[in-house]
Amino acid sequence: MQYMLLICGVEGGPEPSPDERAAMIADTEAWVAEMDGRGVRRFGDRLRPADTATTVRVRGGETLLSDGPFAETKEQILGFDLIDCADLEEALEVAAAHPAARGGSIEVRPLWPWRED
């Protein structure tokens, strides 16, 4: 079953030291290599800051655009990973191993295919 890992954290918080930043990058690269090696990670990437987002709504046939994130909150979606796991238990284990879970949060959400085969 496929799951989306939504990597969440607070934008604009305290900047990590260069050593902390280097460690986080190394830990994340190691996580990616491990999950790619296990064959569970399908795709993932970081997202640009929420202030670069545009929210699209259609109301009464009119398209409404607004700058910024879709919600007023301090925590934002910073990135994502699409994984393919045997079950939710494995997906939660994969998410818990992600370095971002140490300082932020990871929402694990199963994909809901348009058509079930």
Write out the DSSP string of 32-59: HHHHHHHT-EEEEEE---GGG-EEEEEE
pTM of the model: 0.84
Identify the pLDDT of residue 53.
87
Q: How confident is the model at residue 117 (pLDDT cuts 50, 70, 90)?
A: low
Is the residue at 72 inside a domain? yes
What percentage of the chain exceeds 70 in pLDDT? Answer: 94
CATH assignment at residue 54: 3.30.70.1060
Distance CA 101, CA 91 (A): 13
Q: How many domains would you assign to the chain?
A: 1
Identify the pLDDT of residue 69.
63
Is the residue at 83 inside a domain? yes
Is the residue at 117 inside a domain? no
pLDDT digits (tens, 9 = 90+) for 47-104: 998 888 888 889 999 999 988 765 666 778 899 999 999 999 999 999 999 999 998 8
Is 12 in a helix, a strand, or coil? coil
Identify the pLDDT of residue 93.
97
Identify the pLDDT of residue 76.
85
Distance CA 86, CA 108 (A): 14
What domain range is 17 assigned to?
Answer: 2-110
Is the residue at 115 inside a domain? no
Mean of the per-residue pLDDT values of the chain:
90
Is the residue at 116 inside a domain? no
